[in-house]
Amino acid sequence: MPANETRQSTAIDSRLLRDLKKLLGKDGVLHKPEDLLLYEYDGSVEVARPDCVVFPRTAEDVVGIAQLANRHKIPLVGRGAGTGLSGGAIARHGGIITSFARMNRIVEIDADNQRARVQPGVVNADLSTAVEHLGLHYAPDPSSQKACTIGGNVSENSGGPHTLAYGVTTNHVVALEIVLPSGELVHLGSTALDAPGYDLTGLFVGSEGTFGLVTEITVKLTRLPEAIKTLLAIYDSIDDATETVAEITARGITPAACEMLDGWTIRAVEDYVHAGFPLNCSAILLIDVDGLREVAEAEAKDVEDVCRRHRAREVRVARDARERDLLWKGRKNAFGAAGRLAPSYYTQDGVIPRTKLPATLRRISEISKKYGLQIGNVFHAGDGNLHPIILFDERNEKQFRDTIRAADEIIEFCIQVGGSITGEHGVGMEKDRLMPLLFSEADLNLMRRVRDVFNPTGLLNPGKILPDSKGCGEIYVRPQPASAAPPA
Amino acid sequence: MSMTSTEIASRLAEIAGAANVASDPAQTAAYRVDGKTPAAVARPGSSEEVAGIVKFAAAERLAIIPTGARTKLGIGMPPRQYDLALDMTGLDRVVAYDPGDLTLSVEPGITLRKLESVLGEHKQFLPLEVPFMDRATAGGTIASGVDSPLRQLYGTARDYLLGMEFVTGDGVATKSGGRVVKNVTGYDIHKLMAGALGTLGVITKINLRTFPMPRMTRTYVATFRWANGACEFRHAIARSHLRPQSIEIIAARDSSLLRLDDRPEALFDKGRWSVLVSAAGEAGVLDRYRSELETLARGADRNALESFTELSDADQERLTSYIREFPALAPKASQPAAILKISALPKSLVGLAEGIRSMAIKHDVPWAVMMRGVGVTYLALMARDQSAESLRHLKDACSSALRCCVERMWGRGVMLWCPPEFKREMNVWGESSSDFALMQKLKNVFDAHGIFAPGRFVGGL
């Protein structure tokens, strides 16, 4: 059912509101319509209004919130910074949004064991900053890392450019403290590795807020590399760039990151960030190699060699940290740049086997021509994770419909070549309808029953991942501000 | 179970073909688990046949244990019921291998050696250097959750597992994940299957990420007089920029336990603590490893360092196979023996080493220990001889070690291998954790009739 319908049916009970205020204090609850506006959105194109937003400070508060939500049979949704790109933190069917903004403490840094214990509201980049003086960092680095929270990252199993070599969130989370929708507090996993029993931590990470609310996370910290080399390879043809990526992979070189931007995106970014990208090219690759000094130097040479063999017009190597940061700033702000050029944009998040990159980009270009829509490409080329950005004006109804069609056609092609419908943004309320393209009814049924173990009433983050709210395919659109949260 | 083994066999023959079914005790004996012999063995050739067999077993409430090379059936508690061995070695195909994408899809019965040669042709590999390497299958390796020294750099199978197909307890073929290296579509159910010891489903397909094979590998050994030096060396490496592919601290206090006839003598002298570090890379990089590791070893505890050596190719091969097989020393030992796996944190390794030493001395049992750089520790304990008294000493030492895991906070302990009779009085999995209720509920979702290896896993799952 459409979100607006359910919203009315779950108008908040005054007793519930009173109980929540009693639990969290007056400043711990928002319920006036004007206060709720901000919480209708995340970084995607989805919109739905919660009935109230609450701000717990402790795990006990979260237990209390869950108990109240359970007693009042009202949906409960967790929320970090709201930078998600699939509607994971949106109250699709109304209810209580639990914002972790006030649970943002780094509880413990254990440098000797390379672990950190954090509350869910800790901003991703803040953890890396806090451990930098120890020569450590938290490796997963979504492009929104200056805003997004680790709790949100856990829910979405977030990636980022450097997950190519370092792995995604699930590879770095060892233990969790969670609150089940029943209000029960449970510990999963352990600080030491290989706790006996089923890998519940591995199951939980990426469950998109449908299993439990995370109240504490224990992560691995990774040693910072001794040396990083950042290369910028410039191409006159997209095919040459994609073939470079395929050969880097085939040669057994694993860069720390390997990102591609096409000509249109480069010009949009350059106009906005002034990263020093050339304006008259068809594609660039932004590649990081790192590790021991000797390793980084040798790999940089190998990568440069492959780039040149595939007709790179020019290969620049960043001379210092400042140059490197500028290049990366260009990449990480690409989506913000796109937001300046059209009233709205839609970002797809398909994954393909890396050898299929050239064919897939050609297909995207055909789709762009077919619908007369501008599609920019900026993505994690090294692991085949595409982020085509389709620009549109939502006031033009036909263009909006075409946008959705074009996005679907891209995803269908990804599936056709052996890929997947989301690499790091999540299924959420955006792609639940696409799940049957990849999974059988039996597969989905098992997933439903697994979810029911944690969330038997279905009131925790309802309407996400699994297509069980049939007919819920609407996509809501809003104008994108220029500062739209960039995807990973 | 009300059916006779002949009846079971004839029903199985309808599904998998008579040639792939056996109920003759001479054949079923090879599938024994902790003294229990199944009534029949079936060797399916496809996932459809697996589903058919599971459906039949579910209807008749027959308990199934899926097997590969049958090297790790001693892990876990004795099954409460065991009627049917599902020999998965008939599903041994490479379903898809895309070297350019570094992805692989295989059936579970394929051996790791076979995979090694398939991947080797494209200069790729899987970082699964696991015990019983010469026989083990991919399915058995992943289902049993055994780890590899290479986890220091590559993590464990759950880190490069991309997806799986499996048959659940109602005989339904299901899947999760996919075949691409980055994917967040749906719940990661395959992560549950890894290390579940076949208690949630029968794995029929495994999708993995492969890795480029390093061109050159070198192993360095620093030998210390006491554990502190060895552990300090481990910490110094962790604080450096070096990224070795494995770090193992080894102390072997009784060579008879370890059957190290062909060992490089100096490394395992009684009372010594050796740290084996292996690194991969080009010659210049390896030179740097050598000199920097030596400096770190000297800095760790100058008075304790006895030697620092770069191993010859032959010694490297011997030592690599030795540390790979260490977690399986017990089932291979000539005397009754046990292996305790301890989940410890790196910083607690020194205390753990000391605790192990005093515990073993107290119980008068030969012992050896291997502590991985990531903290996971394997303690081998052995009876002096076959006598009842020695066996009792071993059993006391095992109970005491499991107790120390809790009381002395060594870390979560699992008795990975021990003489089956010990299991009558000992819970090899140790205490259950607070998330056990969730595990129980999940088990019910996957296996409502409790037909998959009932009782073998944590908490009697």
Helices of type H across A333-356:
334-339
Q: How far is A71 from chain B (nearest CA, A)?
A: 21
Fold (topology level) of B214-448: Vanillyl-alcohol Oxidase; Chain A, domain 3 (3.40.462)
| Sequence letter at residue A189 | G
Rounded Cα–Cα distance for residues B368 and B373 (Å) = 16
Q: Give pLDDT, residue B264.
A: 52
The predicted model gives A225-254 an average pLDDT of 94
User: How big is the A-B interface in CB pairs under 8 Å?
Assistant: 237
Q: B125: nearest CA in chain A?
A: A252
Q: B429: nearest CA in chain A?
A: A196
The count of residues in chain A is 488
- CB contact under 8 Å between B182 and A159, yes or no, is yes
Q: Domain map of chain A by residue range?
A: 227-332
Contact A285, A258 (CB under 8 A): yes
Please name which of A303, A179, A194, A191 lies closest in space to residue A244, comparing C-alpha atoms.
A303
Task: Give residue A1's pLDDT band: very low, low, confident or very high (50, 70, 90).
Answer: very low
Residues of B in contact with A351 (CB under 8 A): 178, 180-183
Task: Name which of B431, B438, B444 to mutate to probe chain A: the one with the most chain A Cβ atoms within 10 A of its Cβ.
Answer: B438
Q: B461: nearest CA in chain A?
A: A197
What tens digit of pLDDT does each residue of B96-134 get?
999 999 999 999 999 999 999 999 999 999 999 999 999
Of B430, B433, B445, the CB nearest to A453: B445
Pick out chain B residues at pLDDT < 50: 260-261
**DSSP state, B214?**
P
- CB contact under 8 Å between A465 and B441, yes or no, is no
Q: Give pLDDT, residue B379.
A: 96
Query: ipTM score here?
Result: 0.97
Rounded Cα–Cα distance for residues B55 and B40 (Å) = 16
Measure the CA angle with vertex A193, ends A117 and B431; round to 5°: 100
Per-window interface: A 212-231 vs B, CB < 8 A:
223, 225-226
Kindly state whether B422 is in contact with chain A, defined as any CB-CB distance less than 8 angstroms.
no
- CB contact under 8 Å between B200 and A198, yes or no, is yes
Residue B24 token pair: 């003759």
Q: Give pLDDT, residue A333.
A: 85
- CB contact under 8 Å between A443 and B186, yes or no, is yes
Rounded Cα–Cα distance for residues A447 and A424 (Å) = 19
The predicted model gives A101-107 an average pLDDT of 98
Residues of A in contact with B346 (CB under 8 A): 112-114
Q: Give pLDDT, residue A13.
A: 86
Burial letters for B271-292: b for 16+ Cβ neighbours within 10 Å, e otherwise? ebbbbbbbbbbeeebbebbbeb
Where on the phi/psi map is residue A152: left (φ > 0), alpha (ψ -120 to 50), or beta? alpha
Per-window interface: B 11-50 vs A, CB < 8 A:
none
Rounded Cα–Cα distance for residues B120 and B99 (Å) = 10
Query: Which residues of chain B form CATH 3.40.462.10?
Result: 214-448
Per-residue pLDDT at A5 exceeds 50? no
Query: Which residues of chain B form CATH 3.30.465.10?
Result: 1-213
- CB contact under 8 Å between A193 and B376, yes or no, is yes
Kindly state whether B301 is in contact with chain A, defined as any CB-CB distance less than 8 angstroms.
no
Kindly state whether A167 is in contact with chain B, defined as any CB-CB distance less than 8 angstroms.
yes
Residues of A in contact with B173 (CB under 8 A): 442
Q: A456: nearest CA in chain B?
A: B441
N- to C-terminal Cα separation, chain B = 19
Please name which of A218, A182, A179, A176 lies closest in space to residue A56, comparing C-alpha atoms.
A179
Per-residue pLDDT at A481 exceeds 90? no
H/E element, A3: helix A3-9
Per-residue pLDDT at A473 exceeds 50? no
CATH code assigned to A227-332: 3.30.70.2190
Contact A103, A58 (CB under 8 A): yes
Contact B417, B338 (CB under 8 A): yes
Q: To which residue do tokens 């020393």 refer?
A: B329
Kindly state whether A159 is in contact with chain B, defined as any CB-CB distance less than 8 angstroms.
yes
Contact B128, B141 (CB under 8 A): yes
Kindly state whether B412 is in contact with chain A, defined as any CB-CB distance less than 8 angstroms.
yes
Residues of B in contact with A468 (CB under 8 A): none
- CB contact under 8 Å between A207 and B187, yes or no, is yes
Q: Which long-range contacts (CB under 8 A, 24 or more apart) does B355-359 make?
A: B355/B404, B355/B408, B355/B410, B356/B401, B357/B227, B359/B397, B359/B400, B359/B401, B359/B404
Residues of B in contact with A207 (CB under 8 A): 187
SS (H, E, C) B75-125: CCCCCCCCCEEEEHHHCCCEEEEEHHHCEEEECCCCEHHHHHHHHHCCCEE
What tens digit of pLDDT does each residue of A125-140 get?
999 999 999 999 999 9
Burial letters for B418-453: b for 16+ Cβ neighbours within 10 Å, e otherwise? bbeebbeebebbbebbebbebbbebbebbbebbbbb
Q: Give pLDDT, residue A483.
A: 37
Average pLDDT, chain A: 91
Kindly state whether A458 is in contact with chain B, defined as any CB-CB distance less than 8 angstroms.
no
Kindly state whether B95 is in contact with chain A, defined as any CB-CB distance less than 8 angstroms.
no
Residues of B in contact with A385 (CB under 8 A): 182
Q: Give pLDDT, residue A30.
A: 96
What tens digit of pLDDT does each residue of A141-161 get?
998 999 999 999 999 999 999
CATH 1.10.1740.10 matches B1-213: no
